[in-house]
Amino acid sequence: MAVEEARKGSSEGERVEKDDQEVIVIQDMGFNIKVVAPGIEPFELQVSSQEMVQEIHQVLMDREDTCHRTCFSLQFEGNVLDNFAELKNIEGLQEGSVLKVVEEPYTVREARIHMRHVRDLLKSLDPADAYNGMDCSSLSFLNVITEGDIDMKKRKRNDSDSVDCTPPDYVMPGAKDRPILPLQPMSKDFKSPQCLKVLTASGWNPPPGNRKMHGDLMYLSVVTAEDKHFHLTASTRGFFVNQSTQETFNPKPASPKCSAHSLIELLNQISPIFKRNFATLQKRRVNRHPFERIATPFQVYSWTAPQMDHTIDSVRAEDAYTSRLGYEEHIPGQTRDWNEELQTTRELSRKNLPERLLRERAIFKVHSDFVAAATRGAMAVIDGNVMAINPGEEAKMQMFIWNNIFFSLGFDVKDHYKEYGGDYAAYIAPCNDLKGVRAYNGVDIEGLYTLGTVVIDYRGYRVTAQSIIPGILEREQEQSVVYGSIDFGKSVVTNDKYLELLEKTSKPLKILPHKVINDQNEEIQIISSVECKGIVGNDGRYYVLDLLRTFPPDVNFLPMEGEELSEDCKALGFPRKHKHRLACLRQELVDAFAENRYLLFMRHAALQLMSIRQKKATTVEETKESRERDGKEAEKSERPKLGGCTRGQGDSSKDPVDAEAQALVESLAEQDSGSLDDASREVINAACRAIGSLSDSEFDVRFNPDVFSPGVTHPNPQGDQFRKQKQLVKDAAAFLVSHQIAGFVKDCIEHSITAIDGQSLCEALHDRGINMRYLGKVADLLCQHKLLEHIHRIAVSEMICRAAKHQFKTYMQGVEMLCLSAAVSHFLNCLLSTFSNPHPQLPEDFGKKKNKKRSRHYPIANHGEEWASLSPQDMWSNIRTEVKEYFDFNLTCDSCDSAVETYGLQKTSLLREICIKCGVQVLLREYNFDSKHRATFTEEDIINIFPIVKHVNPKATDAYHFFQSGQVKIQQGFLKEGFELINEALNLFNNVYGAMHPEIAACLRTLARLNYILGDPVEALNNQQKAVLMSERVLGIDHPNTITEYVHLALYCFANQQVSAALRLMYRARYLALVVFGEDHPEMALYDSNIGLILHGVGEIDLSLRFLENALELNKKYHGQRSLKVALNHHLLARAFSCKGDFRAALMHERETYTIYKSQLGEQHEKTKDSSECLKHLTQQAVVLQRTMNEIYKSGSQATIPPLQISPPSASSVLELINIINGIVFLPLR
């Protein structure tokens, strides 16, 4: 059951501090109760003492035999149970207790909820919502791919005759086609059985007064599958058929009387087809994996969709034209007060683990509802369906309020950003602000509040959605702001309470408290950038907003007179003029820089202290007694000195500094400077000066975010302290260029980064604090390494797609609703089609009539036909210019075809990237990109435009802590302890996030890997299946993580002798990889080795060889001819050729293996010896074969040939090799 599955992980506990380790005591007591419902046999249900009565309601509404009920109460010993009571608080409820389901009278609200529930049951197998990106539905194809094999417990195993091994042609190595249709395969039972033709609210609603007094609540109209028309009444006692028709109103019950408490039971009575098909539908619904049905916390959109039939659905129609959001029908009152909900959840107590879990669960739930509401509101604003609160203003300046959320557009209003880059700066500012909100939410200071913030890109517009500070709309901003500046630093005010709160954020966010001079010539103390505003709401809360410059400026993109950058920066052409002056360093970079400086500080101080101690030791050595006493200590202090000297101060890798010296430095740093002796004080001072600390007496690396702000006046701009502050910001920018980018390239060379598409490349760069505007510089460095050709290709593709996205933004702003699909298809044709002269399909009257009032309804007035005149030449000229201006990278191509040829790109991957980045959904069909006579896309190919939503994802901090601790334990080799910690993390994640979340998928993947290593492949398969389903649902069916999850699941399927399923999963992974990044990538070598080995294991040698040979070529290209991966590939090929009887080829490959092992590992290494043995064995086999052949030549064709002794490899030996190539060391349970 979906709800039961979601409840399983839900557990609460308390934190116990013991030896600095946190131990969780689970207080969850599970027991069984008996449920008695009308019309069915009593059944048992396992429940938890922690859950609420409402959760049992949900389980009953999901069960096959009770799902048709919504309006009922649960009674225990004659008493109605409160929905919000926890089971542990119900007196007498214990193992074996009986709960009775009692039908309750309906109200209008309950009748509407019941009708919605019936609609949801009838639509439960319909994928339309998932394709349309509605109601947090999303796609999953795992069970279509495996055809249910994974769930079949009793099936033929090890029967190679029953295994269909043949891959589709497009999956074979060397295949040029990249079809799109297999991306979303249709299952055999794709169409759910039709139960009804129409179920809708009747036109006779609402009931007249006299009928209300007879208990009528609402009227429904039904057309059954038999094509019979019925009018139904929903009354307080249930549903019955009335005598009304389309023309006449007769609310009296029909004769013979048909009535039932639930609508499903009534429909079962009046339609035999409904009864039969609904039973089939229910069986199929409950047979689906719960993870295929549970709603995701945030909407996931698909970039392709098949042509769906549009069906009549009154509930959907009603939703579209009301402001129903989240669960309004379940809560009293009208729209939700989002700000109050968001802030109240943050104020919840967090003293112990149960309280923290409750708080984080509430924060996450409200936040996900707020994101859904903000997204829907932003789309309504851009579609022109919301009235502006300042309708008389110019369209760009209009602001909107809808459902208690404030919406503003990403344009430069009143020249606010004039000095910072105008509209471009205004477009960037919301994302910078969101990073600031993330940073302050992460610090989570009690008493300091941020606004709920969501940034939505839709149809070329950027919309910022924010919760509303109570009272802010009643007064001018100037009156509201009690801290910060509203004019970029000219007038600045401060507030003691804000200083007290912000002081707590100073150290974690590395923000330096500093003074600025306002227009009254007063020195004002602030602990943020000047733009950061403090507003006290009518609710008495202290809010901070406009956090767009929380982090220090990036001086590499901020040319200033008289400011010199480091030589490393200058060598790369910095400083460069950027499109805006709001370029800031990332929080990850600030943290990495501070950590690096602290490491240098510790080394410097440790070296100085050791040398002082050595001098003392040598002077004391003169007397015998002291020599004996201090001998050991001197020996100790000498060793680290040698180690410290060899490392060198410039080395910032995390080598451990000598523990004793480090402890000494830390103890000195913690002491009051007055109590230090002169030598120690001088050591600390020298270390501080060496690393550029802002204080001479302690380590202090914090940033003044206003240090290079043009409108801000500083008290002593020529002073030594201000010079240090400026230098620190420059040093951080230099650190990014010289250390982080170089480190990223080094990690790529060592294959510790596997970027397979633009998104994974972006995440890898962001993790190291590298902004995407450095991508051109990164690409130039990648270009210098032949082994990094694949990442260079992804980097170039990403720059092209981002430049195209920038163009899409301005292009779409000039398009009216009437022409959206024509405009998007024209844009894609100009970008991707070989056809050189595409023309958009325009409406017949396009351009003839001008709607003069249009600007009142749309954020920007129509630009006429400008968009329609775009040509491929213009498009690619603009892309080249944008790539040069934004990324400082020279694109040597002037069309999509030349880009494909020059950089080895593929058009399918480019289409995927651009659709995902711009929110475009295209028709699922095969596209001919290379036709010179016809455009690739027509307007019918554009199915939908989706919003791109950016928001701050709340973290489950305790669960995350457990997950990280578990990973550390695993790395240290303590697998059992790691397993327990990860398992606990899974419980806590479930508690906070519910059943579906990317972090839960990561937990399940890690648990599956541990299950497998610890010798439990069945449980590994179970956990990994959940991980795949969840990854498909919450990340996307072709997300890089999903591909990895498929590969892991294939491995565990093979370990469980489910060979056919394993092959289908590997073919799926290879296909997705081909669509996402193509064949020329080191990851493909891993997939091909896996496929080759599995095929080898079932005796498909010829097929196996094709995959293994491709893997060898790729590994040679990306790991070098002499790498151990290449040696292993040669060995796999030798095995395959020997099974085929081709000993000459087998010997050749095994010799290569031996040569590599010998040169890399030495003759005495176990692998070298094994390869030597293998060579001997193959030589013997080859000799036997040669003798046999000679016999044939001598004796003629009449000779009897003894069969060759070639046995296919055992499943265990194949599995052993699969484990090796996937980096798994197998450990039996002890």
**Which is more confidently placed, 678 or 339?**
339
What are the CB-based long-range contacts (under 8 Å, 24+) for 390-393?
Answer: 391/856
For the stretch 25-69, pLDDT in tens is 444 567 888 899 888 888 888 888 778 888 888 888 888 888 888
552 φ/ψ angles, rounded to the nearest 5 degrees: -65, 155
For the stretch 755-791, pLDDT in tens is 999 999 999 999 999 999 999 999 999 999 988 999 9
Q: Is the Cα dihedral 1001, 1006, 1010, 1013 positive or negative?
A: positive
Residues 79/80/82/88 CA torsion (nearest 10 deg): 40
Q: Does residue 1059 belong to any structural domain of this protein?
A: no
Average pLDDT estimate for 1125-1147: 89
For the stretch 944-967, pLDDT in tens is 999 999 999 999 999 999 999 999
Residues 759 and 894 in one domain: yes
In this predicted structure, the answer to whether residue 408 has a pLDDT above a threshold of 50 is yes
Full strand arrangement of the beta sheet holding 196-201: 196-201, 216-224, 229-235, 238-242, 259-260
CATH of residue 95's domain is 3.10.20.90
**Six token digits for residue 567:** 């030589």
Q: Which of 1180, 1202, 1204 is nearest to 1191 (CA)?
A: 1202
For the stretch 713-755, pLDDT in tens is 888 888 888 999 999 999 999 999 999 999 999 999 988 888 9
Residues 787 and 646 in one domain: no
Residues 772 and 672 in one domain: no
In this predicted structure, the answer to whether residue 158 has a pLDDT above a threshold of 60 is no
Q: Which of 1063, 937, 906 is nearest to 171 (CA)?
A: 1063
CA distances to 71, 712, 1141 from 1195, rounded to whole Å, are 90, 101, 22
**Six token digits for residue 132:** 């349309």
Residues 1101 and 1170 in one domain: yes
Residues 768 and 852 in one domain: yes
Residues 622 and 538 in one domain: no
Number of neighbouring beta carbons within 10 Å of residue 506: 16
In this predicted structure, the answer to whether residue 405 has a pLDDT above a threshold of 80 is yes
Domain carrying residue 29: 2-104
Q: Does residue 295 belong to any structural domain of this protein?
A: no
Tell me the residue length of the chain: 1230
Inter-axis angle of helices 263-270 and 272-287, nearest 10: 130
The CA radius of gyration of the chain, in Å to the nearest whole number, is 34
Q: Encode 1121-1156 in three state secondary structure.
A: CCCHHHHHHHHHHHHHHHHHCCHHHHHHHHHHHHHH
Q: Does residue 1122 belong to any structural domain of this protein?
A: yes
417 φ/ψ angles, rounded to the nearest 5 degrees: -105, 20
Q: Does residue 501 belong to any structural domain of this protein?
A: yes
Residues 515 and 605 in one domain: no
Between β-strands 453-458 and 948-951, what pairing exists: parallel, antiparallel or unpaired?
A: antiparallel
Residue 131 contacts residue 304 (beta carbons within 8 Å) = no
Q: What was the pLDDT predicted at 191?
A: 72
In this predicted structure, the answer to whether residue 626 has a pLDDT above a threshold of 80 is no
Full strand arrangement of the beta sheet holding 461-467: 399-402, 405-409, 461-467, 453-458, 948-951
Q: What was the pLDDT predicted at 501?
A: 95
In this predicted structure, the answer to whether residue 155 has a pLDDT above a threshold of 50 is no
Q: What angle do CA 747, 749, 753 make, to 5 degrees?
A: 45
For the stretch 275-305, pLDDT in tens is 999 999 888 888 888 888 888 999 999 999 9
Residue that is last in its domain, among 917, 951, 985: 951
Residue 1058 contacts residue 150 (beta carbons within 8 Å) = yes
* 200: helix, strand or coil: strand
In this predicted structure, the answer to whether residue 398 has a pLDDT above a threshold of 80 is yes
Q: What was the pLDDT predicted at 672?
A: 56
Q: Does residue 414 belong to any structural domain of this protein?
A: no
CA distances to 518, 812, 814, 923 from 827, rounded to whole Å, are 49, 9, 13, 15
Using CB atoms within 10 Å of the CB of residue 971, give its burial: 0 to 12 exposed, 13 to 18 middle, 19+ buried.
exposed
Q: Does residue 1003 belong to any structural domain of this protein?
A: no
CATH of residue 1144's domain is 1.25.40.10
Rounded to whole angstroms, how far apart are CA atoms 929 and 369?
41
Q: What was the pLDDT predicted at 51?
A: 80
Q: What angle do CA 378, 299, 368 make, to 5 degrees?
A: 75
Average pLDDT estimate for 215-221: 92
Residues 307/309/315/321 CA torsion (nearest 10 deg): 60
Residue 552 contacts residue 705 (beta carbons within 8 Å) = yes
Q: What was the pLDDT predicted at 172?
A: 94
Average pLDDT estimate for 1014-1021: 91
pLDDT class of 856 with cuts at 50, 70, 90: very low
**Six token digits for residue 835:** 């056809």
Number of domains in the chain: 5
Average pLDDT estimate for 1197-1213: 59
* 920: helix, strand or coil: strand
Residues 920 and 803 in one domain: yes
Rounded to whole angstroms, how far apart are CA atoms 119 and 115?
6
pLDDT class of 673 with cuts at 50, 70, 90: low
Rounded to whole angstroms, how far apart are CA atoms 611 and 1168?
47
Rounded to whole angstroms, how far apart are CA atoms 266 and 200?
15
Rounded to whole angstroms, how far apart are CA atoms 558 and 498?
30
Q: Does residue 817 belong to any structural domain of this protein?
A: yes
* 1095: helix, strand or coil: helix
Q: What was the pLDDT predicted at 854?
A: 44
Residues 541 and 659 in one domain: no
**b/e 693-725 (16+ beta carbons within 10 angstroms → b):** bbeeebbbbbbbbbbbbeebbbeeeeeeebebb
Report the predicted TM-score, pTM, of the whole model to 2 decimal places.
0.88
**Which is more confidently placed, 354 or 26?**
354
Lowest average pLDDT, out of 89-93, 308-312, 377-381, 890-894, goes to 308-312
Residue that is last in its domain, among 104, 133, 157: 104
**Six token digits for residue 275:** 């009864």
Average pLDDT estimate for 1194-1212: 59
Q: What was the pLDDT predicted at 841?
A: 78
Residue tagged 């939908």 (tokens):
944
Q: Which residues pair with 44 in a beta bridge?
A: 34
Between β-strands 196-201 and 98-103, what pairing exists: parallel, antiparallel or unpaired?
A: unpaired
Q: What single-letter amino acid sits at 1197?
A: S
Residues 539 and 593 in one domain: no
pLDDT class of 1226 with cuts at 50, 70, 90: low
In this predicted structure, the answer to whether residue 910 has a pLDDT above a threshold of 80 is yes
Q: Does residue 1220 belong to any structural domain of this protein?
A: yes
As a whole number, the mean pLDDT across the chain is: 84
Residue 516 contacts residue 526 (beta carbons within 8 Å) = yes
The answer for residues whose C-beta is within 8 angstroms of residue 478's C-beta and 6 or more apart is 486
**Residue 1002 CA, distance from chain mean position:** 11
Residue that is last in its domain, among 104, 121, 139: 104
pLDDT class of 503 with cuts at 50, 70, 90: very high
For the stretch 443-496, pLDDT in tens is 999 999 999 999 999 999 999 999 999 988 887 766 788 999 888 778 899 999
pLDDT class of 2 with cuts at 50, 70, 90: very low
The answer for residues whose C-beta is within 8 angstroms of residue 1018's C-beta and 6 or more apart is 1056
Between β-strands 304-305 and 920-923, what pairing exists: parallel, antiparallel or unpaired?
A: parallel
In this predicted structure, the answer to whether residue 825 has a pLDDT above a threshold of 90 is yes
Number of neighbouring beta carbons within 10 Å of residue 1195: 11
Residues 696 and 799 in one domain: no
Q: What was the pLDDT predicted at 1006?
A: 94
Q: What was the pLDDT predicted at 1225?
A: 62
In this predicted structure, the answer to whether residue 1228 has a pLDDT above a threshold of 70 is no
Residues 663 and 789 in one domain: no
For the stretch 72-123, pLDDT in tens is 999 888 888 888 888 888 888 888 888 899 999 999 989 988 988 998 888 8
What percentage of the chain has pLDDT greater than the value 70?
86
